C-alpha cells in the first residue's frame, strides 16, 4: 500500500480564498483523523471519523472549517474563507480501529500558507 496520501503537499493562497485539502486513507482502514501542527500550538486533533461518520469535531476551530468523508477512500478538509492564522501543516492519518488498539498511519502533510 502507498500509505496515506495527501494533496496538495504545499498550498499558498490569499486571505479570503477557499482552500480544500484532500486525503486518501490506507485501504481497509476504518478511521480517519485530521490534525493541524503549528509551532505555537503543536499537534491538534481537528476531527476524526469512524466508518465515514464524524465522531468528534470538537477540535475544529470555527465554522470556517469543515470536513467530509463521502466514502471510505476519500476525505476533504475545507477552509472558507481562509485567514493568515490558518497557516500550518495539516496532517491526515488513518487506522484500523479494533477496540482501542490500533496505531495511526500519517500522511506527509499539506503545508498551508495563507498570505
Counting contacts by CB under 8 A, is residue 105 touching another protein? yes
Tell me which stretch binds another protein (CB under 8 A): 14-22, 44-52, 61-69, 79-87: 44-52
Among 11, 31, 65, 90, binds another protein (CB under 8 A): 31
Could you say which of 88, 90, 109, 114 contacts another protein (CB under 8 A)?
109
**First CA to last CA across the chain, in angstroms?**
36
34, 40, 42, 46: CA torsion to nearest 10: -20
Distance CA 71, CA 53 (A): 9
User: Candidates 14-22, 66-74, 76-84, 98-106 — which segment interacts with another protein by CB under 8 A?
Assistant: 98-106
Q: Which of 19, 25, 46, 107 binds another protein (CB under 8 A)?
A: 107
Residue 86 sits at φ, ψ, to 5 deg, of -85, -5
Is 74 among the residues that bind another protein (CB under 8 A)? Answer: no
Please give the C-alpha separations between residue 32 and each of 1, 74, 82, 86, 87, in angstroms, as whole numbers. 16, 9, 23, 21, 22
Binding site for another protein (CB under 8 A): 31, 33, 42-43, 45, 48, 50, 55-56, 91, 93, 95, 97, 99-109
Amino acid at each position: 500500500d502507498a500509505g496515506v496520501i495527501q494533496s496538495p503537499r504545499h498550498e499558498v493562497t490569499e486571505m479570503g480564498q477557499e482552500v480544500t485539502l484532500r486525503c486518501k486513507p490506507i485501504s481497509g482502514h476504518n478511521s480517519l483523523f485530521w490534525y493541524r501542527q503549528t509551532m505555537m500550538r503543536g499537534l491538534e486533533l481537528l476531527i476524526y471519523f469512524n466508518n465515514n461518520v464524524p465522531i468528534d469535531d470538537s477540535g475544529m476551530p470555527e465554522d470556517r472549517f469543515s470536513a467530509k468523508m463521502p466514502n471510505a477512500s476519500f476525505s476533504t478538509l475545507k477552509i472558507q474563507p481562509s485567514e493568515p492564522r490558518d497557516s500550518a501543516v495539516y496532517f491526515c492519518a488513518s487506522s484500523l480501529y479494533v477496540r482501542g488498539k490500533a496505531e495511526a498511519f500519517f500522511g506527509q502533510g499539506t503545508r498551508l500558507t495563507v498570505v
